[in-house]
Amino acid sequence: ARHVFYHDAPILQLEAFIMESPHAQRKNEHLSLAAKLYAKNHETHPFDDVQLVHNPLPEINLADVSTTVQLGPLTLEQPFYIEAMTGGSKQSAQINQKLAQVAAKHHLAMATGSASIMIKDPATADSFKVVRREDPDGLVFANLSASATRKQAQAAIDALNADALELHVNAVQELTMADGDRNFHWLINISQLTRALDVPVIVKEVGFGMSKEAIQALTDMGVTLINVSGRGGTNFANIENRRNRHEDLHELLDWGQTTPESLLEARQGRSNSTTIISSGGVCSPLDVVKSGVLGAQAVGVAGYFLNILQHQGIDALDDEISRWEVELPRLLALLGCSSFTDLSRKPFVLHGATYEYALQRHLI
Ligand code: FNR
C-alpha cells in the first residue's frame, strides 16, 4: 500500500475569498488553459536539438554523485524545483497545497505564482501562505512583476517567509492581455529591488526566453540570478489569446527564444558571478541534464508537473519526482560528473534550428 503523506486539511479563510473576482477568475483560467493547451504547446521539444556525447569510460562511482546545487546563498538538494504557477483563487489554493506537499516530501524548492493578486485582494493571501504552512522548512520563492514597489516586494516576501523573490518580466504576456501592463521600464526598478531586499532576487521570463543582450543588461544592473524561461513549454501567448478572443495577437504564438537557445545566449551574456536558471519545456531528467550541460545551475519545472497533478493526481506527481530523483544521479554518473555544475564542462552537439540559431547569433 502507498505510504500516504499528504492530506486535504481545510484551508483556513478560503470561504472568505471573493471567488468570482476577475483576478481570481484569470488565475483559474490560466490553470485550466495550461492543461487544455498542454499537448499543443508541447508538440515540439527544442531540447531534442541538443545531443550529449557518450563517454564509455565515465570513471566514476554512482555513490559519489551529489545532486546538490547552489543558487546564490541557497542550497538546493535537487537541481530541479517547482516553478512559479499559481495563487489567488480557491482552485489555485488547492493546487498550491498539493504542490507544496510534494515539494516538502521531496525537499524541492518551490515558487508560488505572482503575489500581485494578494496585494490587490488580501483575502486571497491564504492561497499563497498554504505553501509555507505545508512546507515550513523548505525553500519557498515568492513571485511578483518586475514593476513591483519595494513595499509590495517586502509584503510578498513576509507573507511567505520567502527565501528568495522572483521578479517576472513578461512583456509578451502583458501585451496579449486586454487589461495588461503597457509600461515596460523595468531595469531600474529591478536594480533597486535587487539592492534593497535582503533575500536573493531572481529575474525570470515566463516562457519567451532571453537574449545575451538582456542578460548582459541585467548583469550590469547587479542581478546575479537569472531564469531564462524559454519557449518550448507553457505558452502564455496561446493561453492569453484563448482568454481574450477579441484582441488576438496571433503573431506572437511562436515568439521568443527556446530554452536551449536562451541558455546558449546566456553563456555569452553572463558574468562570472551570474547564476543561470533554466526553465520552459523541461519534461524529463534528461532535459534537466541538458540544461546543465548548456550552463544552467538550476532548473525550474512548471507546466509538466502541473499537467501530471491535474490529470493524474498527487500520487502520480509524487511517483514521477521519485523517478527523477533516481534517474538524475544516474545520468550525471554516465557523463562522469560528480556534481551538477560539472555538467557545464561537458561537450554537446547541436542540431536543426538550434544549430542554425547558434551559428547566426555567433554563440558557438
Ligand atoms: C506560470 N508561470 C508564471 N511565472 C511567473 O513568473 N509568475 C506567475 O504568476 C506565473 N504563472 C503561471 C501559471 C501557470 C498555470 C503556468 C503553467 C505557468 C510561468 C512559469 O513559471 C514558467 O516560466 C513557464 O511556464 C515556462 O515553464 P514550463 O511551464 O514550460 O515548465
Which of 41, 47, 83, 127 for a ligand 1 pocket mutation test, highest count of atoms within 8 Å of Cβ? 83
Quote the ligand 1 centre to 206 CA distance (angstroms). 6
Q: Is 204 annotated as a binding residue?
A: yes
Of all protein residues, whose CA lies closest to atom 5 belonging to ligand 1? 84
Burial of residue 334 (CB within 10 Å: 0-12, 13-18, 19+) is: middle
> Grid coordinates representing 79?
537541481
- pLDDT by residue for the chain (364 residues), tens only, comes to 344 456 555 554 444 444 558 889 999 999 999 999 999 999 999 999 999 999 999 999 999 999 999 999 999 999 999 999 999 999 999 999 999 999 999 999 999 999 999 999 999 999 999 999 999 999 999 999 999 999 999 999 999 999 999 999 999 999 988 889 999 999 999 999 999 999 999 999 999 999 999 999 999 999 999 999 999 999 999 999 888 765 566 789 899 999 999 999 999 999 999 999 999 999 999 999 999 999 999 999 999 999 999 999 999 999 999 999 999 999 999 999 999 999 999 999 999 999 999 999 999 9
Atom 21 of ligand 1, residue of closest alpha carbon: 84
Angstrom distance (rounded) from CA 249 to CA 95: 29
* 111 CA closest ligand 1 atom index: 21
DSSP string, 325-339: HHHHHHHHHHTT-SS
The ligand 1 site (C-beta within 6 Å) comprises 30-31, 34, 83-86, 113-114, 143, 166, 168, 204, 206-207, 229, 233-234, 279-282, 301-304, 306
Q: Assess: ipTM above 0.90.
A: yes
Which among 33, 37, 109 has a CA at the least distance from the CA of 78?
Answer: 109
Cβ-based burial of 271 (10 A; exposed 0-12, middle 13-18, buried ≥19): exposed
Centroid of chain to Cα 51: 23
Residue 23: CB atoms within 10 Å: 15
144 neighbors 164 (Cβ within 8 angstroms): no
3-state class (DSSP) for residue 194: helix
Dihedral angle over CA of 322, 29, 37, 41, nearest 10 = -80
Whole-number Å distance, alpha carbon 60 to ligand 1 midpoint, is: 36
